[in-house]
Amino acid sequence: MTELVRLTDVTKVYQGGITGALNGVSLSIEQGEFTAVMGPSGSGKSTLLNLIAGLDRPTSGDVVVGGTNLGGLGEAGLARFRRDHVGFVFQFFHLLPNLTALENVLIPAQLKGRENAEARGRTLLERLGMVDVADRYPARLSGGQQQRVAIARALINNPTLLLADEPTGALDTHSGDQVMALLAQLHRDGQTILLVTHDAKLATRQASRVVSVVDGKIVDDARLETMERAASDVVRVRGEETSR
Amino acid sequence: MTAILVKAIADLRRRRLQAAVIFVATLLAAGTGTMALTLLSQTRDPYQTAFAAQQGAHLQVAYDSRSDPQTIAATPQLLGATASGGPYPVTSLQFQAGSRKFGLDTIGRDDPGGPVEQIRITAGHWPSSNDEIALTRSFSELNNIGVGQKIKVTSVAQEPVLTVTAEVVDIDEGSADLSSQHAWVPSSAISGLSAKNSSYYLMTYRFATDPSSAQLQADMDRLRSALPPGSVVGSVNYILIRNVFNITNQIVTSVLIAFGIFALAATAAIVANLVTGIVISAYREIGIMKAVGFTPRQVVAVFELQILIPAGAACLVGIPAGTLASQPLLANSSHALGLAYTPSFSFALDLVTLAGALLIVALAALLPAFRAGLLKPVVVIANASAPRGRSGRGLRRFAAQMRLPRPVVLGFGDAFARPARAILTLLAILIGVATVTVALGLPRSFAAINNSETNAGNVDVVVRKSPALSDADALRIINSQPETARIVAETGENFTVPGIGDPVNARVFRGDSSRLGYMVVAGRWFSGPGEVLAPKALLQDAKLKIGDHFVASAHGNAVPLVVVGEIYDINNLGHSLFMDWATLVAVEPDVTPDAYLITLTPGTAAGAYVQRVAAAQPDLLDVEPNNIGIIGPVKIIDTVLLIIAAVIALIGVGGIFNTLLLNTRERVRDTATLKAVGMSPRQVMVMVAASAGLIALVGGIIAVPAGVGLHRYLLDLVSSSAGNDTPQAAYGVFAPLELLAIPIVGVLVAIAAALIPGRWAASTNVVEVLHAE
């Protein structure tokens, strides 16, 4: 397996923060892995995701993705990096309200200068069962539909890494299950996925590896053989964390 | 009340940039408006004051030198005048001061006081011996001839030397840059200064009340019918002189009022835009305000106060500034009238301006504030943000089809996403660009008219002849110069025109006068005896039109005339005639030219030519390069226009800056999302700039024809003030490419204005913004 992401002794302290959101975290993610980062609210898991996406910069330490040290990139370089290598799925979808579903999907490709990406956009929407609503505006889509459009948008530039921050957090159970099944399918097709969630069951259902973060530190890193074992391991971690 | 004030001030602190935009826009609008109103209210007063103080003449009449002085002295009773002056002997004096030569109608008058037309001495003393002369201060200042200076009279063979002993202000004549001037000598000096056929008598009349134009015309008709034909050779009344005095301020005031209204309209658009934006961005906050107990009226009050506080502060600065800025023009009027300048303003008017400006601003803010007051708290707290429109899809598609870069496509879509905001912004841009178009066009039109009036490009040298030199001798000197390509001789004569009270000054030409470059508004140039051209005012007042025949008279001799054209001429506010030499010769066979308008062969240096001709007859010829300089009042109007255009353009830029600020703040989440999916800071800036550029382009495309129309309207207004129709050539001062360039420059300015909001958007912290959701 090839290493895709490497975090070395990464610390992130926000302005005014006494303790860091992340404290000396080191982590490596292989290409093709489906990794779930799990932890309670404020544990630092979203910060971890933002650093890997190049949306934020660490206070110290190195973040290397696909061989590129993100610390060496300027704002424009980081934007290009996100556009070319990363797909990001947000909890609240963050679709642009004045663009149709298809137009939202095509935006990253168009920003990259690929003006003829419409065929791929429609293919992606078809694959996600959304082709019928391609010309609808986000306000006329359900939460689950919006998230699938967001996933299509994340995939339009064939990212080497798909990042998902609580992708089911704003969805009902049924829609959430659909989205997770979709991510699993993408993983089976070879997509590297890094999922952030606070839901242990969700983390273990589809991920092959669960990294648990508490108070800005990685407290457990479990590679799961089977679903059952993984779930118990993770529940154990959460139990320890709760008892502290 | 405390809660409203606390909340409004807290919001103001948070929205300092918006407050600054309101402050600047209101400051400029209030300043412009105050300046206009102050000029409007104070302009008329100085002339009236001076006219009353100096017992100005309601009517001045020139009588032929052959008239009986005793008959003339009896005319006040005929007219029912309450006071009169004269008859004063007058002669047309030509003199040399240094190397320059001048011509003035010089009055023999022993006392500057009297019941009518008191002459105010501002320097020196009244002439008491035959070698002393008094000049108007206006003439002295324009030509730098002061008290103590010697002048040599060249219109009589003896060439006596006079000393300037006084500078005076005469309420009964216009300023030297707009009107011919008088000079005064003791009455005993006149005979020694008079050349043949250059004298007349002057009577001044004052009535119990200010007579109307119709009454003055009736007086003139009565005089003509009571006296032998040809007795009355000229007249001028106080209405014309007052208009000449006030015309600059009147035009400036008209321009200021028009653009003051524009500035206020643009400010109102900005304010309405701003409050709408604040309401949209503070959707959740409004819900919370109402949830904690603010009534709808109190919510409205919070928003109104946020606007009224900076607007009120701007008025407190802008109104005094506008009053101050109007003072130089008022001081100029007072100076010309010989009045001591005292700063003049109306406190009541300033209060009205303050109330008016605040009312307009408050009204502009009212609708969006009212909307905020009516919002349902549960709905706005739950929704957190205002509903968003879908507008802009068509524009995006169009831009996409044009294969424009995606940030540009997105920016275009954003430009009109909120139609009401876009329209208000367009209004501010439209006003700004239209004003700039006007400011660009009017000075050029004025220059074109000035070129026509001064024969610029068609006459290189003007030679004025002393009556002591014969026409033949003058022509011999001029024709002996090989560089002389064309000579048009000119003289002036007063004609009595039916329906016109005052005799009308005719400009009479000998030679190919059609090539002098005068602007013919309609019809054609005269081509033979009896044919005349006249400006609109004369045609209108005499109820004449092109093709009409009428009989005028000169020195009591009937002259049949036909109108063949309408000309542009501001002299005597459009009361003049243009005719051929043969027309005058028919009734005055021994008439000789006063001046020769000379065109030189191409490539001739005018300076050397002037020196050679002047040297041939240094005392009897006044030779000058043709003076094509723009007169002072037009320069003032040009300057005021330029300043106004800058002010309104600035307000327009403020409008677009304000809209972009609102747009970028409102769309901060969208911008963060775009950055998250890979939009670079540069692309964000391009997106914001594209949005600004499109609005400016649309605004500019609408504004240019509007500006051209406004230019036309104002030009007509100015022409009309001076008694003329606007000639077609004065309208067409814009090059087609220039009209294309104006919106493009507007786009560039808008893009520059987009830099700050663009940078602000580009530096959006994605994590902070999206985390805040």
Tell me the per-residue pLDDT of B492-548, one tens digit each, with 9 for 90 and over: 988 989 888 888 999 999 999 999 999 999 999 999 999 999 999 999 999 999 999
Residue A235: pLDDT above 50? no
Mutation target among B677, B683, B686, B767 for the A interface, most CBs of A within 10 A: B677
Q: 3-state DSSP helix/strand/coil percent for chain A, to nearest 5?
A: 40, 25, 35
Cβ contact, residue pair A111, B683, below 8 Å: yes
pLDDT band at B345 (very low <50, low <70, confident <90, very high): confident
Over pLDDT 70: what percentage of chain B?
Answer: 94
Q: What is the reported pLDDT for A195?
A: 93
Is A94 an interface residue toward B (CB < 8 Å)?
yes
* pTM to 2 decimal places: 0.72
* Across B452-477, average pLDDT: 89
How many Cβ pairs closer than 8 A exist between chain A and B? 90
For residue B13, the surrounding DSSP H or E stretch is helix B2-14
pLDDT band at B45 (very low <50, low <70, confident <90, very high): low
Q: List pLDDT tens digits, range B143-191.
A: 899 899 999 998 888 889 999 999 998 887 777 777 778 999 999 999 8
Query: What are the chain B neighbours of A97 within 8 Å (beta carbons)?
Result: 388, 670
Which residues lie below 8 Å from residue B404, measured CB to CB, with a gap of 6+?
B412
Cβ contact, residue pair B676, A110, below 8 Å: no
pLDDT band at A200 (very low <50, low <70, confident <90, very high): confident
Residues 215-244 of A with CB under 8 A from B: none
**Least CA distance to B391: which residue of chain A?**
A98
Is A146 an interface residue toward B (CB < 8 Å)?
no
Query: A53 CA to chain B: closest CA distance, Å?
Result: 8
Is A16 an interface residue toward B (CB < 8 Å)?
no
Q: What is the DSSP string of A94-142?
A: ---TTS-HHHHHHHHHHHTT-TT-HHHHHHHHHHTT-GGGTTS-GGGS-
B interface with A, Cβ–Cβ < 8 A, is: 388-393, 396, 400, 403, 405-407, 409-410, 413-414, 417, 669-670, 672-683, 762, 766-767, 770-771, 773
B96: its two tokens: 């040399």
Residue B681 C-beta-side C-alpha neighbours within 13 Å: 15
Q: What is the reported pLDDT for B508?
A: 96
Q: What is the reported pLDDT for A228?
A: 47
Cβ contact, residue pair B767, A108, below 8 Å: no
ipTM of this complex: 0.78
Characterize the bridge pairing of strands B199-206 and B59-64: antiparallel
Lowest mean pLDDT among B296-305, B310-319, B375-384, B463-472: B375-384
A94: its two tokens: 């963050």
Under a CB-based contact definition with an 8 Å cutoff, are residues A130 and A148 in contact? yes
Q: What is the DSSP string of B283-303?
A: HHHHHHHHHTT--HHHHHHHH
Nearest to B678 among A95, A98, A112 (CB): A112
Is A76 an interface residue toward B (CB < 8 Å)?
yes
Cβ contact, residue pair B673, A96, below 8 Å: yes
Dist. CA B525–CA B532, nearest whole Å: 8
Residue A227: pLDDT above 80? no
Query: B729 CA to chain A: closest CA distance, Å?
Result: 50
Nearest to B676 among A80, A82, A113 (CB): A82
pLDDT band at A28 (very low <50, low <70, confident <90, very high): very high
Dist. CA B615–CA B597, nearest whole Å: 18
Nearest to A79 among B406, B409, B680 (CB): B680
Task: For the beta carbon of residue B720, count every other beta carbon within 10 angstroms.
Answer: 14
H, E, C per residue of B699-722: HHHHHHHHHHHHHHHHHHHHHHHC
Query: What are the chain B neighbours of A157 within 8 Å (beta carbons)?
Result: 678
Cβ contact, residue pair A111, B679, below 8 Å: yes
* Across B415-435, average pLDDT: 83
**Least CA distance to B417: which residue of chain A?**
A98
Cβ contact, residue pair B677, A80, below 8 Å: no
* Across B611-620, average pLDDT: 84
More confident residue, B533 or A56: B533
B592: its two tokens: 């000789």
Angle between helices A101-111 and A118-127 (to 10 degrees): 130
**Least CA distance to A50: which residue of chain B?**
B767
Q: What is the DSSP string of B393-413?
A: HHHHHHHHHTT--HHHHHHHH
Nearest to A97 among B388, B403, B405 (CB): B388
